[in-house]
Amino acid sequence: MPTMMQEHMLANMRDHLASLNMILAKLAAGELDEAAEIAESRLGVSSLESHGASHMAQVMPKEMQQVGTSMHRAASNFALKAQEGEVLPAYGALAEVTAACVACHSAFRVR
């Protein structure tokens, strides 16, 4: 992957982690709508355009793209669950997001 793309991807990653942190804080505070909003806008399917996913996908192996897509879908699914207002199912849906983080990290490196 070209160096500039690596930098861009790692910056996205740091934003993903910061987003997770905020989502957890919102869940713990019982602010489920805010948690949903952060998840959808920063990790969900709605975030694909803003973080340049279509450009990034071109330099990723197919399996990596698939895990990435499943992570974005899981985040959007979490947002729906959180909006339903039940905190335990929301945590469960959030664990599906982190499962995609874990799956990709255990399989892929930038170099």
Q: Which of 8, 6, 19, 5 has the alpha carbon at shortest distance from 98?
A: 19
Options 53, 67, 79, 93; binder of ligand HEC; rule CB under 6 A: 67
Options 80, 92, 104, 106; binder of ligand HEC; rule CB under 6 A: 104
Q: What are the structure tokens assigned to 74, written together?
A: 């899981």
Options 68, 76, 90, 93; binder of ligand HEC; rule CB under 6 A: 68
Q: Is residue 97 a contact point for ligand HEC (CB under 6 A)?
A: yes
**Residue 85, amino acid:** G
| Cα separation of the two ends of the chain | 8
Q: Is residue 55 a contact point for ligand HEC (CB under 6 A)?
A: no
Q: How many residues are recorded in the chain?
A: 111
List, in order, residues 6 or more apart from 63 with CB less than 8 Å away.
107
Count of residues touching ligand HEC (by CB under 6 A): 19
Which stretches of the chain bind ligand HEC, using CB under 6 A?
Answer: 10, 13-14, 16-17, 20, 43, 64, 67-68, 71, 97, 100-101, 104-105, 108-110
